[in-house]
Structure 1
Amino acid sequence: MAYNSAEDLWYQYFAADGPQWLMLFFMYGFRALWASIGILFDLGIVYITVKTPSLRSICNILIATESFCALVLNLGYFVSFFVVASGTKFIRYEHCFWALILPSLFGTLAQPVMVFTGLDRVFAVACPFWYQQRKAKKYLALVSSFIILYGIFVFVVYYLDYMQTKDIMLSCSTNEMLQSSLAPIMKFSGLAMSALIIIVYTFCWFFVFKFASTSQNVTENNRKLNKSLMFIIGLNLIGVFTKIIIDLILQACLVAANVFIHVPYSTVYSFLTIAVYSANAPVLYIMSSEYRARFDQHFPWIVKIYGKIARSTATVMPSATPPRPWIIINNGIGPAMNGGITPRHI
């Protein structure tokens, strides 16, 4: 079915002259600002991995790769902001496909990278002898080959979708892509990857924390690293299942096709995507002593900021006993005013 801009209610409303374009400006502007914070986090992980020899294990490289994917995805959110801020507001899809395909592609590739990061942790604990004897370069080459093949598949789907919808008018936002009949393919692929992530990290949790024969061999640093990864994956899955539930609710209410609900909802969800995909740096800094030491080494100003935050969140418990002004301390001879609870810092 050919695209007709006269039937595109979203385009007709925001392309018209008037103050309504400010809604797009602030919506995409706040998202670009939020993405810039994610970019700083992602750059931090990539930088300390490149600069630190002790962070060159396969697991560390995969974590940095995931952060790099998130970095490229976050850069893509600036395209829509620049289009709207320039006053153009909308351009044809064929003019912004190549500006959007890399962010969308790398954002999609973050999921298989998460899968292989989890597999690396499972192999390290469940098959320690093989893990120590394996050829690291060959293993990385195998992982890279799979990710590249998956990337080719994703690119083909996006390109075929683009060929069917290149005449539509967009603000050049990544969440405006995949509007053809091929969209369910990528949705199913994303759900399949999420299912793999659940399976892999369930095995990881079992071997690291529950199975006595393997958990006893896990060092404290590796245990903290695994906790960090599971927390990050948990955030990712919360985002995935939240989107699924909301999609089902919208479909049940027969409003999924309403563009004035679908587009804002997709944009709001992208804020969650940014937070989840850029969570590596803050989570690893808080939970992993190795990553915290490297961040502090390369970015010493973080120590001051983190210290201020820690001090500001400390709470002093008030005394459980009310003041007793009638008690007089006579140079330590009289009764001591020690009836209260000792202040505790949480």
Structure 2
Amino acid sequence: MYFHNEKGYSTLIEMYGIRSIIAFVALIFNLSIVYVTLIKKSLHSFCQLLIALESFFGIFLNLNYFVSFVLSLIGQPFIKFVPCFWIQILSIITGNNAQMTMVLIGFDRLFAVKLPIWYKNRNTKFYTLLVVAILIFYAGYQLFLYLNVLADTDGEILVTCSSYDISRGSWSVIMYFNGITLSSTLMITYILIWILVFLRKNLGGNTVSTSNRRIIKSLLIIIILNMIGVFINNILKQFYNFVAVDVVTKNFITFINSHLSIVAYSSNAPVLYFVSEKYRAAFNDCFPLLAYLNGSSSHSNRVGATTTTPAIAVNPHLPKNVNNRPLTVINS
């Protein structure tokens, strides 16, 4: 095999090294969202906490991309399946829970837009426990699937120990079907939210407010990133289960797609920073360098200390939610 020699090892180091750099940037993005949410009380709404939880799960997914790079650096780019399985299993389960959290964020925003009165008066304790129960159940379900993969796979087989190396055999058909289902549900949910926001008749005339343009823009970004980085990736992996593809071609395409998955699971920070004024102010306050790079003062952007004129006073036709406030940006 080409990679079982010194030149091949160098190629693997370069490939996994570049991916690790991208994963490192993604790791910073996810850590920043978690940090800012913990520090800023203004970002403690249920949806914002879910966004931080998704990014927290994404941290573990980012870390697993360093495994192949480290193994290549020490001259052991291929290891047996069993140790690889136990190295990767935590990050795989948390990564899958990140996707489930994306879907839960979508449902939460859909309820807030479609059923605002119910959403305001909901039993928050029961609502929170339900979300926690769903995540725990899905994690247990994923663990069950992967333990069956472990039982059915030859433990002596050599792998590069990337996350996709432990999804194999007949059980992977179920795994990728789950991923496709969640990804499809996420896109459908956000499309419904987009339609509700864009086509709502009480917007006041035919114009769409600046606030709602931000909502629409953020939703489009989410849908596009999910489609490219998650949905298509799962479709291709499922395709490989039913069609014979050259192993080199399959691994190369899967490796390329892994970069897109990294982007999809770490997009919260940049999307929220550029689309949401509240998140941008919080980031600028926590990281003054960002405010400096954007030519603004972190002191003037402190969350909760702004003195700008409320948007509803400028445009009385701007739609209101049940708290009599303008609609805010929805994102996951």
TM-score range, shorter chain: 0.7 to 0.9
Deviation at 1:245, TM superposition (A): 6.8
The aligned counterpart of 1:54 is 42
Partner of 1:203 in structure 2? 192
Larger radius of gyration: 1
Task: For 2:171 and 2:293, locate their aligned partners in 1 and report how far apart those are by CA, in whole Å.
Answer: 47
1:113 aligned to which of 94, 101, 106: 101
Tell me the equivalent position of 2:138: 150
- Structure 1: distance between partners of 2:97 and 2:210: 30
Q: What displacement does 1:138 show?
A: 2.0
1:125: which partner in 2? 113
AA aligned opposite 2:86: W
Select 1:181's aligned residue among 152, 163, 170.
Answer: 170
Displaced runs of 4 or more, over 4 A: 213-216, 218-223, 244-252
**Would the alpha carbon gap of residues 124 and 249 (structure 1) be closer, same or farther in structure 2, given more than 3 Å must change?**
closer
TM-score normalised to structure 1 length: 0.78
1:1-346 equivalences in 2 (<5 Å): 12-15=1-4, 17-165=5-153, 166-213=155-202, 224-225=214-215, 227-243=217-233, 256=245, 258-307=246-295
Are the equivalent residues in 2 in contact too, given 1:208–1:223 (CA < 8 A)? no
Q: CA deviation digits over 1:217-248, x for unaligned, max 9?
A: x9965763564244223211133454367569
Partner residue of 2:311? none
TM-score (structure 2 length as normaliser): 0.81
Give per-residue Cα distances to partners, 1:142-174, cap 9 Å, x unaligned.
011111111111111111112222321112111
Matched with 1:314 is none
CA distance in 1, matches of 2:220, 2:96: 19
**Which amino acid is 2:169 matched to?**
S
1:72–1:89 distance in 2 versus 1, CA, 3 Å: same
CA distance in 2, matches of 1:221, 1:97: 46
Distance change (3 Å), C-alpha of 1:123 and 1:96: same
What is the CA distance between 1:291 and its match in structure 2?
0.4
- Answer whether contact 1:225 1:284 (CA < 8 A) is retained: no
CA distance in structure 2 between the partners assigned to 1:61 and 1:23 by the alignment: 41
Counterpart for residue 324 of structure 2: none
SS at match of 2:263: helix
Alpha-carbon contact 2:176-2:237 (below 8 Å) kept: no
Q: Secondary structure at the match of 1:19?
A: helix
Distance of aligned partners of 1:245 and 1:75 in 2 relative to their CA distance in 1, 3 Å threshold: closer
CA RMSD of aligned residues (A): 2.6
Q: C-alpha distance in 1, partners of 2:123/2:294?
A: 39
Tell me how far 1:85 sits from its aligned partner.
0.7
Q: Secondary structure at the match of 1:20?
A: helix
CA distance in 2, matches of 1:23, 1:108: 29
SS in 1 for 2:7: coil
**Are the counterparts in 2 of residues 105 and 155 from structure 1 also a CA contact under 8 Å?**
yes
In the TM superposition, residue 79 of structure 1 has moved relative to its aligned partner by 1.0
Of stretches 228-237 and 295-304 in structure 1, the one that deviates more from structure 2 is: 228-237
**Counterpart residue number, 2:314:** none
Say if 2:229 and 2:262, in contact at 8 Å, map to a contact too. no
Who is 1:312 aligned against? none
Query: 2: CA distance between counterparts of 1:237 and 1:248?
Result: 15
Aligned partner letter, 2:192: F
CA separation of 1:250/1:158 partners in 2, compared to 1, >3 Å: closer, same or farther? closer
